[in-house]
Chains A and B, each alone.
Chain A
């Protein structure tokens, strides 16, 4: 019997039966080996099959550009991998909450989203939202600060507990779940007419990225060939989304350290990037832009030229505003050595996206697992090694510029042809996984279809799911007053985590 996982590519479909199935012991052994060799847990999820709950693992192997897929049957109890590989801890808690599987030896066995599992699974936690055993530090002059779920600003809800010694933070615990809307459960039995729209609102500021991940899954499951022109338009949507968010957050970072010129300018310039998306599809967030098989909107040359022109002025305004930051000693003094996440910690926690790249983890789905437009156009990866707020800000600055250059180049001439191909119902008894580099990092969707081609399971992993742990680490031995600054440098999604 072979004891190797199956290697698949991004957006590849395989029969469900082709996913190697092991007993729990062998499953863990192979995962240990994969993770020890530099693999990263991209997704680990349960699925209710005819013969009980199956656990499926997808390990991203950036060096080879392949995904290792394997599965095992979940009993009522499993042995936790989290003590050795902390990057799986949240995945295991999620499986426990959704499928009632107890993970023995898990060091942090708490609810993730505070919801009961669908029957007949056991409810292992059965706690109301926000009620859990928070980690507490005791000692002289130790105090606890609890913030949220409703916290200052126009922002989603989440609960944060700081264990402080004076101004110094020893430990930050982040407890989420307030935004849980039941998105994954709504997708079961689909695809339905609302499926794509649920994915579009999975994390509202990553509409294009989640929609693209979903469309790629649908196309993979139906062997649908997307026209080149649609690939290019999707690339434009994703890169405009990336630069809009990076620009907005650079402004917000400036605001958090009290540097108002850049805060004011970037707040407005972000709107220009959103409006460029609205020029193509009418929605500033790219709602109803992408569809299964391609895109719902096309652009003639006049419209493309206008977007290209707007991109140039966004670039000029943005560099003008952002360069102020890099030349302002008082800003740099606040950005540098604040909220540092080391490369070692980032790898341990399984960090993704610009936050990971700022800590020297050179990984980017667009480069490592290219699909769609990124098979044809290479966007340079931006990385740094410092791992602090400055590094995250600078990486995002560089990425925004590359995205704008990409959009400008595409507007110079799209491939000719149609923008949408017919995408049929998904193939039955199939498994597909789709990765997209959203602006926060790696988005992973995985789908399993039943004998009728309906979704038996649709698993979503937003980059925030990986990266909230990085924020906790960034706060260690920092001043509590630097929390807003550190938080904004990641700007993670609450609903993307809570689903």
Chain B
């Protein structure tokens, strides 16, 4: 018993203070990309050629789809004029798919839920997680939110076992053909009104698996999505920020 108590002292209080203070991210963390189209030499498309997920659209001005981006640095490494850099900004989530198409460095807009839904979910929000082809990384960083380091429960948000106990689904993975029916059934089992969150590049756009015929290029191919959380995988801070924005708590 005494050892258990001594261990408790050793381990200390470790829950971070977010959102009061933002936890320090590593200096090499790859967050919101900064696009400086003004530096692009005429006719250059090196970044689009280098991108493994076709996230860079050859438009004027050059556009990056945060929903397909896996934050891999191929584009920034290929850019001869230093026009692409990754900033340390973790705020990436959006309510609308089009808002993930970024042309520069503007923050991604992320409005809270409509007042009636917001009132319903703000203080108690239960989610069932469904991995529909997720590789385990998104799932792992969702799990992290339930550890003492993040203590998701203090926001009234909880991951629950049954869809019937849930207010919505938190979906990861590109939606494999073999998970399509299971995902639909799980969605149907959630009582209305219900929220759907797509977390990670795969769940938003198919990510790196976009060319594969064994998947459906993301959740919104079959369900209405209320929140998109980009990343491969999204940092726990990015996920939590998205959830709290959705609920109108920050």
Interface centre among A154, A183, A192 (most CB of B within 10 A): A154
The distance from the CB of A462 to the nearest CB of chain B, in whole angstroms, is 11
The distance from the CB of B189 to the nearest CB of chain A, in whole angstroms, is 9
B74-A193 in contact (CB<8A): yes
B208-A265 in contact (CB<8A): no
B35-43, B100-108, B110-118, B131-139: which lies at the A interface? Answer: B131-139
B133-A495 in contact (CB<8A): yes
A23-31, A88-96, A200-208, A431-439: which lies at the B interface? Answer: A200-208
Contacts of A182 in B (CB 8 A): 209, 212-215
A285-B208 in contact (CB<8A): no
Residue of B nearest to A196 (CB): B52
B131-A156 in contact (CB<8A): yes
Is there a chain B Cβ closer than 8 Å to A287's Cβ? yes
Contacts of B29 in A (CB 8 A): 278, 282
Knowing A178-B176, A181-B212 are in contact, say whether A285-B149 is a contact too (CB < 8 A). no
Contacts of A152 in B (CB 8 A): 161-162
Contacts of A320 in B (CB 8 A): 7, 10-11
B91-99, B178-186, B220-228: which lies at the A interface? Answer: B178-186
B3-A181 in contact (CB<8A): no
Contacts of A156 in B (CB 8 A): 131, 134, 136, 139
The distance from the CB of B224 to the nearest CB of chain A, in whole angstroms, is 19
Provide the bound-state CA to CA distance between A295 and B233, in Å. Answer: 20
Provide the bound-state CA to CA distance between A285 and B133, in Å. Answer: 18
B10-A197 in contact (CB<8A): no
Is there a chain A Cβ closer than 8 Å to B144's Cβ? yes
Across the interface, B137 reaches (CB within 8 A) one of A179, A207, A267, A494, namely A207
A178-B178 in contact (CB<8A): yes
Residue of B nearest to A113 (CB): B178
Knowing A178-B176, A265-B11 are in contact, say whether A201-B137 is a contact too (CB < 8 A). yes
Across the interface, A154 reaches (CB within 8 A) one of B11, B139, B176, namely B139
The distance from the CB of B3 to the nearest CB of chain A, in whole angstroms, is 6
Is there a chain B Cβ closer than 8 Å to A177's Cβ? yes
Provide the bound-state CA to CA distance between A180 and B144, in Å. Answer: 25
B7-A265 in contact (CB<8A): yes
Provide the bound-state CA to CA distance between A264 and B51, in Å. Answer: 39
Provide the bound-state CA to CA distance between A314 and B111, in Å. Answer: 39
B135-A202 in contact (CB<8A): yes
Contacts of B131 in A (CB 8 A): 154-157, 179, 494
Contacts of B134 in A (CB 8 A): 156, 179, 204, 495
Contacts of A177 in B (CB 8 A): 178
Contacts of A178 in B (CB 8 A): 133, 176, 178-179, 182
A154-B143 in contact (CB<8A): yes
Across the interface, B136 reaches (CB within 8 A) one of A149, A180, A203, A267, namely A203
Number of A-B contacts (CB under 8 A): 188
Residues 21 to 76 of chain B near chain A (Cβ within 8 Å): 25-26, 28-30, 50-53, 70-74
Beta-carbon contacts of A307-325 to B below 8 Å, as 1s and 0s? 0000000000100110110
B161-A197 in contact (CB<8A): no
The distance from the CB of A55 to the nearest CB of chain B, in whole angstroms, is 23
Beta-carbon contacts of B210-250 to A below 8 Å, as 1s and 0s? 01111100000000000000001101000000000000000
Contacts of A186 in B (CB 8 A): 209, 211-212
Provide the bound-state CA to CA distance between A317 and B144, in Å. Answer: 18
The distance from the CB of B198 to the nearest CB of chain A, in whole angstroms, is 15
Provide the bound-state CA to CA distance between A495 and B136, in Å. Answer: 8
Contacts of B147 in A (CB 8 A): 264, 267-268, 270-271
Q: How many A residues have CB within 8 A of the partner chain?
A: 62
Across the interface, B26 reaches (CB within 8 A) one of A197, A278, A287, namely A278
Contacts of B154 in A (CB 8 A): none
A150-B7 in contact (CB<8A): no
Contacts of B212 in A (CB 8 A): 181-183, 185-186
Knowing A193-B52, A201-B137 are in contact, say whether A129-B178 is a contact too (CB < 8 A). yes
Is there a chain A Cβ closer than 8 Å to B20's Cβ? no
Across the interface, A282 reaches (CB within 8 A) one of B28, B207, B209, namely B28
Q: Is the interface of A mostly helix, strand, loop or mixed?
A: loop
Is there a chain A Cβ closer than 8 Å to B140's Cβ? yes
Residues 430 to 480 of chain A near chain B (Cβ within 8 Å): none
Residues 262 to 308 of chain A near chain B (Cβ within 8 Å): 264-265, 267-268, 270-271, 275, 278-285, 287-288, 296-297
Is there a chain B Cβ closer than 8 Å to A115's Cβ? yes
Is there a chain B Cβ closer than 8 Å to A38's Cβ? no
The distance from the CB of B109 to the nearest CB of chain A, in whole angstroms, is 25
Is there a chain B Cβ closer than 8 Å to A153's Cβ? yes
Provide the bound-state CA to CA distance between A352 and B53, in Å. Answer: 34
Is there a chain A Cβ closer than 8 Å to B130's Cβ? yes
The distance from the CB of B239 to the nearest CB of chain A, in whole angstroms, is 12
Beta-carbon contacts of A181-219 to B below 8 Å, as 1s and 0s? 111011000001110011001111101000000000000
Contacts of A194 in B (CB 8 A): 52-53, 208, 211
Is there a chain A Cβ closer than 8 Å to B173's Cβ? yes
Is there a chain B Cβ closer than 8 Å to A493's Cβ? yes
B178-A179 in contact (CB<8A): yes
The distance from the CB of A357 to the nearest CB of chain B, in whole angstroms, is 22
List 22 interface pairs A-B (beta carbons < 8 Å), by A numbering.
Answer: A113-B178, A149-B182, A150-B163, A150-B186, A156-B136, A179-B178, A181-B133, A181-B209, A182-B212, A185-B214, A193-B52, A193-B74, A197-B208, A203-B135, A267-B148, A278-B25, A279-B28, A282-B26, A284-B141, A287-B72, A317-B10, A495-B136
Chain B residues at the A interface, C-beta cutoff of 8 Å: 3-4, 7-8, 10-11, 14, 25-26, 28-30, 50-53, 70-74, 86, 129-144, 146-149, 159, 161-163, 173-174, 176-179, 181-182, 185-186, 202, 207-209, 211-215, 232-233, 235
- Beyond the given pairs A202-B135, A282-B29, A287-B71, 13 more chain A to chain B contacts, judged by CB atoms under 8 angstroms and listed by A's residue number, are A129-B181, A154-B129, A181-B133, A194-B208, A197-B72, A201-B202, A201-B207, A204-B140, A270-B147, A275-B26, A278-B29, A281-B28, A282-B28
Chain A residues at the B interface, C-beta cutoff of 8 Å: 113-115, 129, 149-150, 152-157, 177-183, 185-186, 192-194, 197-198, 201-205, 207, 261, 264-265, 267-268, 270-271, 275, 278-285, 287-288, 296-297, 317, 320-321, 323-324, 327, 493-495, 498
